[in-house]
């Protein structure tokens, strides 16, 4: 069975600081990888996804993530965060053996100080 | 236009009651899901339906029963509510095919007194 680990539970940054949120998964086969964002009181929104091809994927709002297969990682990055990026960020993985089932990490709360 | 809509947004009720949460999607998707998000924000899938058929049924108590009258609706009925059922329940949908992301509803915050 697949699992997802997000080691940073809460990250606090000042505006304009650079961001990197870690995500590691455990599954030996082909995976699809996702980052979702949940703003306070709102539903989850897709930030970006990786299915195949270029391991560096760009998403909305200036976010990007890099898939490193050898490290089973899919870290989320943003060069300069804004106060409006304050939210909960979830990494998720879908394995080839479960075409529809997403497994989520425990989430990382990002707080950006103005 | 709301793509995935859930009602109600908030639900406060007493232990032992029976309640339902409704979900509708207007995206034409074939698959719908229910997730439970606990107080620590951990998201766990509960059920998934594809074209009205149950395809994923994780280990949840029998008190939870999903119902899909058509592929645009997936309702969640909960019998004999317990304190531990307090959570935010998210409905989601996706189109068939491997490279399709899931779209989430706004969530229903269920509080058991």
Give how far B80 is from chain A: nearest CA, Å.
27
Q: Give the integer Cα–Cα distance in Å for A25 and A93.
A: 7
Cα→Cα distances B17→A22, A28, B109, Å: 41, 44, 16
Q: Give the integer Cα–Cα distance in Å for B20 and B65.
A: 9
Q: Does the beta-carbon distance from B98 to A51 stay under 8 Å?
A: yes
Q: Is residue B98 less than 8 Å (CB to CB) from chain A?
A: yes
Q: Does the beta-carbon distance from A106 to B94 stay under 8 Å?
A: no
Q: What's B37's domain CATH number?
A: 2.60.40.10
Q: Give the integer Cα–Cα distance in Å for B75 and B57.
A: 14
pLDDT in tens, A68-111: 999 999 999 999 999 999 999 999 988 766 556 788 999 999 99
Give the pLDDT of residue B99.
67
Q: Is residue A42 less than 8 Å (CB to CB) from chain B?
A: yes
- Exposure string of A74-112, with b = 16+ CB inside 10 Å and e = fewer, is bbbebeebeeebbbbbbbbbbbeebbbbbbbbbbbebeb
- With CA atoms as reference, report the closest residue to A104 among B55, B89, B97, B45: B45
The residue range of the domain holding A63 is 3-113
The residue range of the domain holding B95 is 4-112
Contacts of A96 in chain B (CB under 8 A): 98
> Total domain count for chain A?
1
Lookup: tokens for A4: 């997802």
Give the pLDDT of residue B1.
58
Q: Does the beta-carbon distance from A99 to B98 stay under 8 Å?
A: yes
> Total domain count for chain B?
1
Q: Does the beta-carbon distance from A100 to B50 stay under 8 Å?
A: yes
Q: What's A46's domain CATH number?
A: 2.60.40.10
pLDDT in tens, B5-61: 999 999 999 999 999 999 999 999 988 999 999 888 888 889 888 877 777 777 788
């Amino acid at each position: 069975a697949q699992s997802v680990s997000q080691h940073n539970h809460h990250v606090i940054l000042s505006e304009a600081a650079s961001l990197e949120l870690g995500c590691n998964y455990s599954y030996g086969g082909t995976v699809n990888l996702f980052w979702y964002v949940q703003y306070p009181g709102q539903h989850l929104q897709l930030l970006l996804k990786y299915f195949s091809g270029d391991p560096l994927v760009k998403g909305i709002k200036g976010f990007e993530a890099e898939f490193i297969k050898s490290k089973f990682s899919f870290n989320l990055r943003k060069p300069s965060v804004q106060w409006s990026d304050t939210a909960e960020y979830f990494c998720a993985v879908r394995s080839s053996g479960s075409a529809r089932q997403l497994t989520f990490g425990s989430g990382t709360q990002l707080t950006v100080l103005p | 236009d709301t793509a995935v809509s859930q009602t109600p947004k908030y639900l406060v009720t007493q232990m032992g009651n029976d309640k339902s949460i409704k979900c509708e999607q207007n995206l034409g998707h074939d698959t719908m899901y229910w997730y439970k998000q606990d107080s620590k924000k951990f998201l766990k899938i509960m059920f998934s339906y594809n074209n009205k058929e149950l395809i994923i049924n994780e280990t949840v108590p029998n008190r939870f029963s999903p119902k899909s009258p058509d592929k645009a609706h997936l309702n969640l009925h909960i019998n004999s509510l317990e304190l531990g059922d307090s959570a935010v329940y998210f409905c989601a949908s996706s189109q068939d095919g491997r490279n399709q992301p899931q779209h989430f509803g706004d969530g229903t915050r269920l509080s058991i007194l």
